[in-house]
Amino acid sequence: MSSNSKVQEIDDEPDEWDQRINKTGCAEENLQLQLCHADTGDWRKCINEMNAFRECWDKFNNNQRTQTKNNNLKDF
């Protein structure tokens, strides 16, 4: 079978990363920030997008939602 005749499977399901971003409520802001960086290659040129993402992050209280619990390291 030639590579031209192979059928490509389309995956409509979001992967684990996309699912996690979607749960933050800030998927669109994240996308705009990623696209800005891809276009410019410099995070410093994406201040507006970063601020929009940060405002969204704060709006949905994601810092509290995504805090990790400290493990009891003395057990190791």
Task: Residue 61: count other Cβ atoms within 10 Å of its Cβ.
Answer: 10
Residue 10 has pLDDT above 90, yes or no: no
**CB–CB of 52/26 below 8 Å?**
no
Name the band, by pLDDT with cuts 50, 70 and 90, for residue 76: very low
Amino acid at 43: W
CA–CA separation, 54 vs 51, rounded Å? Answer: 5
- Burial classification of residue 49, based on how many CB atoms lie within 10 Å of its CB (0-12 exposed, 13-18 middle, 19 or more buried): buried
Which pLDDT belongs to residue 64? 87
pLDDT tens-place string over residues 13-70: 889 989 999 999 999 999 999 999 999 999 999 999 999 999 999 999 999 887 765 5
The residue written with tokens 């704060």 in the block is 58
